[in-house]
Structure 1
Amino acid sequence: MSDSVPEPAPGAQHVPVLLDRVLELLAPALSGGPAVLVDCTLGLGGHSAALLAAHPELTLVGLDRDPQALELAGRRLAPYAERTHLVHARYDELTEVLEELDIPKVQGVLLDLGVSSLQLDAVDRGFAYSRDAALDMRMDPTTGQTAADVVNTYPPGELIRVLRDYGEERFAKRIVSAVLRRRERAPLRTSEELVELLYEAVPAASRRTGGHPAKRTFQALRIEVNGELESLEGVLPAAIDAVAVGGRLVVLAYHSLEDRLVKQAFAEQSRSRTPPGLPVELPGHGPRWRMLTRGAEGAGAEETAENPRAASVRMRAGERIAEAA
C-alpha cells in the first residue's frame, strides 16, 4: 500500500458502533462453514476486522466510495488479505460488484450508514461544522459536486427543499434568504463562513434549545452532495435479493430519514402475501424475512458515553426465511 494516505486523526479508530450486537446478530449466518459477508460501508474496517477474526472461513467483500477509507481499511485488514475483496464502489452498486466477483448469494450484509469516523475526523473534508475547512462533504472526493456547489448554485426553491427534506430544518426559508443575500456579495467557500451565516439566520431562542444551528443544514447538504437516500433506496432491494436463505441483513441508521426507508423495506419482506381472510397460508405467499430486532435498537448509556457518535443509532436486522416467489 502507498504511504501517501495519512492516518486518521486521533480517536478516529474508536470501537465501531454496536460492535458486540452486530457480531451476535450475524454469527448464526456466518458460523459452521464457508460464508460470504458484504460490508457495504467498510469505513475504517472495524466491524469487518472483528467479523473476520471471529469466523475463520469467512470471505469479506468490502465496499466504500471513499478511496482513503479503502486504503486505511486495507492496512487494518492486511492479516486477512487472502479472504478479502475490497472494492471502490458505492453501496448501491452491490449487485454489479457481486456479479463481477461471481458470487451469486451471500450469507450476510452489513450497512453502517451515514458519515464515517474517518470523514468526520479529517479536517479538510468539510463534514464537521466545528472545524473550518472547504465546503466539500463528498464521501468520494474524486467525483461529483461539492457542498459549495450546492449552496452557491442551487435555485432558492431547490435549496429550501434540500434543507427541509434532508435536514428537517424548520427555518429553511430564513436560511436560504440569508444564503441568497450572501451569494450576491461573494460565494460561500468554507464551513466557518456557513456556520457564521447560520448563527445569524437561526433565531436565538432556537439556538438555545434546538442544538447547534448548523447541525441540520450540514446533514442536509451532506445527504444531497452524496445522494445518500437515493443510494440507500437502491441498495436495500439489492441487499435483500443477495442474501441466501438463512442469511442475515443488519442495518445501522443514524437519522429518521434513513431508518424509515430501512423499516419499510423490512416490513415489505416480512408480511404475508396470502389474501386476507383465507384460513391457511398459500404456498409461496408467506413472509420471506423475519425480524431479529423488535423495532429499532439503540446503543446503551455506557457505549454512548464512550462513543457519542452512537447516540443516534437505530439498528434493524432480519433473516431470510424463504426464497422470493
Structure 2
Amino acid sequence: MPPSRPSDTGPDAAERHIPVLLAEVLAHLSPKDGEVHVDGTFGAGGYSRAILDAADCRVIAIDRDPTAVAASAPLVLAYPGRLAVTQDRFGNLDQVAAMLGAPQVDGVVLDIGVSSMQLDEGERGFSFRRDGPLDMRMSGEGPSAADYVARLPEAELANLIYRFGEERQSRGIARAIVRAREEAPIVRTLQLADIIAKVVRSKPHEPHPATRSFQALRIAVNDELGELARALAAAERVLKPGGRLVVVTFHSLEDRIVKNFLNARAKPAAGSRHLPAVESLPPSFRLVARGAVEPTEAESRANPRARSAKLRAASRTEVPAHDASDLDALLPPLPDFDARHRPH
C-alpha cells in the first residue's frame, strides 16, 4: 500500500498530485496528434493532463470513484472536446471507449492501486493513520471492510490477509480481530489499526504494522486483482495494431499478474506455468520494455509513493485478442462473501 502524502484534495488537487514514473509512461505511451488514449485510472488526472499536453490527441478517462469524477470538471473544461471522464470500472474500458465513439484506441495506461487522495481522506476508510469509518469501497457499493472484518470466520480472514497482504502474521492478526469483535464491533480505521499493532511489532523506520492487512482488505473489498485482469483483457480487445499498453503497479501481487499476462501473450507458443499455451494463436502483444521499469533514486526521494512502483509496457500486434477465460489462473481466490457472511 503506497504511503500517504500531504492532502491532495481541493480544487487544485491535480496540480499538487505527483504522477509516478510520468516521463517513462509518456515515453512508452508515445502519444501523437489525432490519437485516442484511455487513462483507465484517472485519479487526480496527472497522466491524462500529461498525455493531452504531449500531443493534440483525445483522452478517455475512467475512475470508479465518484469523487474523482466530480473533481475532474475543471480539467475537462481546460481541454474542450479532448477529455471525457466517466465513472466506471477500468475492467470495462473497452466498452466505455466504444460508447464514447472509439471502438479501437491507440494507447491504454493503468496506474493500479489506491490513490493518494483516497488515502488522505480519513472518511473514505482507507487510511490506518487517519481515523474514519472502516469502509475502503472505491465506488461506495457492496460489502465494506467493516463487513469483512465482522463476518468472515477466523480462518478465512487469516487467508485473506495472507493472500492479499502477504502478511506472515495473518493468523495472529485474525485471531486478535475475532477476539476484539466479540467485545465490540470494529467499525473505525484506527480501531482496527490498533488491534493489528498489538500483534505486529515494527520499528519507527519500518512500514506501519497495519500496512499489509489494510492492503489485503482493500484489495478484497474492491476485487482489485480481478479488476486488473479484466482490464488487461479489455486493453487487448480495444487496442489497435501497434497500440501501446502501459501499466504501473505498486506491489508484487499486481506486478505478477501484469508480468505473467504480458509474457503469456507475447510468447504463447512457449506457454507459461501461470497461463496455458494457446498453440493456435501467435503473440497478441510485443514487449517493448525489458523487464520492469523502476523509478530513479531521485524520483523515489522526491515522491515516496514511487518507491515500490514498477512499469511494464507492450505494443499490440495484428493478432485477434485471445480468449480471456485463461486469466482466472492468474488470480488468488477471493473469500466467498455469500449470504452467511453478510450483515443481518
Question: How would you bin the TM-score normalised by the shorter chain?
Answer: 0.7 to 0.9
For 1:115-130, list aligned pairs within 5 A.
Answer: 115-130=114-129
The answer to whether residue 35 in structure 2 is matched with residue 39 in structure 1 is no
What TM-score comes out, normalization by structure 1 length?
Answer: 0.88
For 1:1-325, list aligned pairs within 5 A.
Answer: 7=10, 13-27=16-30, 30-31=31-32, 33-56=33-56, 58-141=57-140, 143-202=141-200, 204=201, 211-271=207-267, 273=269, 286-324=282-320
2-side partners of 1:136 and 1:145: how far apart? 9
2-side partners of 1:273 and 1:162: how far apart? 34
Aligned-CA RMSD value: 2.2
> What's the offset of the Cα at 1:322?
2.5
User: Deviations for 1:146-168, whole angstroms, at most 9, x for unmatched residues?
Assistant: 11111111122221121010001
Aligned partners of 2:76 and 2:85 also within 8 Å: no
> What's the offset of the Cα at 1:89?
0.1
Aligned partners of 1:126 and 1:191 also within 8 Å: yes
1-side partners of 2:139 and 2:222: how far apart? 8
* Secondary structure, counterpart of 2:79 in structure 1: helix
Aligned partners of 1:255 and 1:313 also within 8 Å: yes
> What's the offset of the Cα at 1:239?
0.6
> What's the offset of the Cα at 1:101?
2.3
* Secondary structure, counterpart of 1:70 in structure 2: helix
Aligned partners of 2:14 and 2:45 also within 8 Å: no
Percent identity of the aligned residues? 40
Distance 1:78 1:125, change over 3 A: same
Aligned partners of 1:8 and 1:118 also within 8 Å: no
What amino acid is the match of 2:122?
A: V
2-side partners of 1:13 and 1:153: how far apart? 39
> What's the offset of the Cα at 1:97?
1.4
* Secondary structure, counterpart of 2:244 in structure 1: strand
Distance 1:9 1:136, change over 3 A: farther
2-side partners of 1:154 and 1:287: how far apart? 42
Aligned partners of 2:146 and 2:187 also within 8 Å: yes
What amino acid is the match of 2:27?
A: E
1-side partners of 2:113 and 2:289: how far apart? 20
Aligned partners of 2:98 and 2:104 also within 8 Å: no
1-side partners of 2:270 and 2:186: how far apart? 55
What amino acid is the match of 2:49?
A: A
Distance 1:216 1:39, change over 3 A: same
Distance 1:110 1:86, change over 3 A: same
> What's the offset of the Cα at 1:293?
1.2
2-side partners of 1:311 and 1:138: how far apart? 25
Uncovered stretches (5+) of structure 1, i.e. residues with no partner = 1-5, 276-283
- Aligned residues between the structures: 305
Aligned partners of 1:274 and 1:285 also within 8 Å: no
What TM-score comes out, normalization by structure 2 length?
Answer: 0.83
2-side partners of 1:80 and 1:192: how far apart? 40
Uncovered stretches (5+) of structure 2, i.e. residues with no partner = 1-8, 272-279, 322-344
Distance 1:225 1:285, change over 3 A: closer
Distance 1:22 1:237, change over 3 A: same
Distance 1:124 1:131, change over 3 A: same
Range with greater deviation from structure 2 (7-16 or 298-307): 7-16
* Secondary structure, counterpart of 2:294 in structure 1: coil
> What's the offset of the Cα at 1:86?
1.2
